[in-house]
């Protein structure tokens, strides 16, 4: 018995999209916890945002409601702003410390 019965369903239902989004989100969480390179962690955050976007679009289409897609539009704008500011901060850190390894950035600890 599979977790979501998605293989028993003959047609593509919302459960398929929920499963795909959950898997992509889990991969993103795994990447954030697994890597030490700050830029790769940023990419994994983007992956998590995109999995949520995919689920919003799927629900919007299955409900016949446009509001979900408007939310996705807003999320994309916020993600673009977040990436720009985050990468600028990373470049500044790299310019000062010559590393973006998150295990090296422990200056606030002592």
Partner 1 sequence: MDIKEIIFWSLSTIAFITAIYTVIAKNPIFSAISLLVCFASIAGHYLLLNAQFLFIVHIIVYAGAIMVLFLTTLMLMNLNEETEKHKPAIAQIAALVIAVALGIVLMLAVRKANVILTMGPITGSIGDVKSLGTVLLSEYFYPFEFISVLLLSAMVGVVLLMKKDKTAALK
Binding residues among 35-74 for partner 1 as defined by CB under 8 A? 35-37, 39-40, 42-44, 46-47, 50, 53-54, 57-67, 69-70, 72-74
Q: Whose Cβ is closer to partner 1: residue 48's or residue 110's?
A: 48
Q: Whose Cβ is closer to partner 1: residue 25's or residue 108's?
A: 25
Count the site residues for partner 1 by CB under 8 A: 74
105 interacts with partner 1 by CB under 8 A: no
11 interacts with partner 1 by CB under 8 A: yes
Decide: residue 55, CB within 10 A, 0-12 exposed, 13-18 middle, 19+ buried: buried
Q: Whose Cβ is closer to partner 1: residue 81's or residue 105's?
A: 81
Q: By the 8 A CB rule, do 44 and 24 touch?
A: no
Least CB distance from residue 108 to partner 1, whole Å?
A: 19
- Helix axis angle for 67-97 and 38-63, nearest 10°, is 180
Q: By the 8 A CB rule, do 89 and 80 touch?
A: no
31 interacts with partner 1 by CB under 8 A: yes
Separation between Cα atoms, residue 53 and residue 59, nearest integer Å: 10
């Amino acid at each position: 018995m599979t977790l979501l019965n998605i293989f028993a369903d003959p047609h593509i239902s919302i459960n398929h999209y929920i499963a795909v989004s959950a898997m992509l989100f889990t991969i993103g969480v795994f990447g954030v916890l697994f890597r030490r390179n700050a830029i790769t962690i940023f990419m994994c955050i983007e992956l998590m945002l995109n999995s949520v976007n995919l689920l919003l679009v799927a629900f919007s289409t299955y409900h016949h409601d446009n509001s979900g897609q408007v939310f996705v539009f807003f999320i994309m704008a916020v993600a673009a702003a977040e990436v720009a500011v985050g990468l600028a901060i990373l470049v500044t850190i790299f310019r000062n410390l010559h590393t973006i390894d998150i295990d090296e950035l422990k200056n606030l600890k002592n």
